[in-house]
Amino acid sequence: MKRKYERPMAFEETFTTNEYVAACWGVACSIDSANKVDQNNPGVDHQANHCGLETNQHIYTDSNGVAVSMIEERTDRLGDLTCNLYTDPSYLHERSYSSVKQGDYIYWTTKSGNRTWHHQGYVKSTYKDRPNHS
């Protein structure tokens, strides 16, 4: 059988994603400030190894980089908790997720049963070297 010579050629492919992977930002709770707010709430405390970690609260963004939701993960046996945002430390006036930007100081609550935690902290990129990684 005779073989046909083919000239070597390089081909280039363009990768196109078929879906958007949401970026997320992290927020570490300022536990000292938050514990002052909740000092009279029995069974409610803020700990450095839980809400004090910026990798435990995630703000998810849409394909335009606009915040759409916030979840607290890795709680102390409470599962994932939905976060509700507020405009100030009175925790009386709700804030829309879409108004949140990296670098903002935000206030939020989480609830489990009859307990409510009042958190606060700065919004940061979860992974500084990989800002679009969630």
The pLDDT value recorded for residue 22 is 56
Average pLDDT, integer, range 16-35: 77
Q: What is the pLDDT of residues 96-108, one digit of tens each?
A: 999 999 999 999 9
Is pLDDT above 50 for 110? yes
pTM of this prediction? 0.77
Q: What is the pLDDT of residues 61-80, one digit of tens each?
A: 988 889 999 999 878 788 89
With contact defined as beta carbons under 8 Å apart, do 28 and 53 qualify?
yes
Q: Report the alpha-carbon distance of residue 50 to residue 29 in Å, rounded.
A: 9
Domain boundaries of the chain, sorted by first residue: 24-125
Residue 18 confidence class, pLDDT cut points 50, 70, 90: very low
Q: What angle do CA 15, 18, 24 make, to 5 degrees?
A: 100
Alpha helices in the chain (DSSP H): 31-37
Cα torsion 20, 108, 101, 24: sign: negative
Q: Bridge-partner residues for 54, per DSSP?
A: none
The pLDDT value recorded for residue 84 is 96
Phi-psi region of 65 (alpha: psi -120 to 50; beta: other; left: phi over 0): left
Quick one: which of 49, 58, 52 has its CA closest to 32? Answer: 52
Q: What percent of the chain stands above pLDDT 90?
A: 60
With contact defined as beta carbons under 8 Å apart, do 126 and 25 qualify?
yes
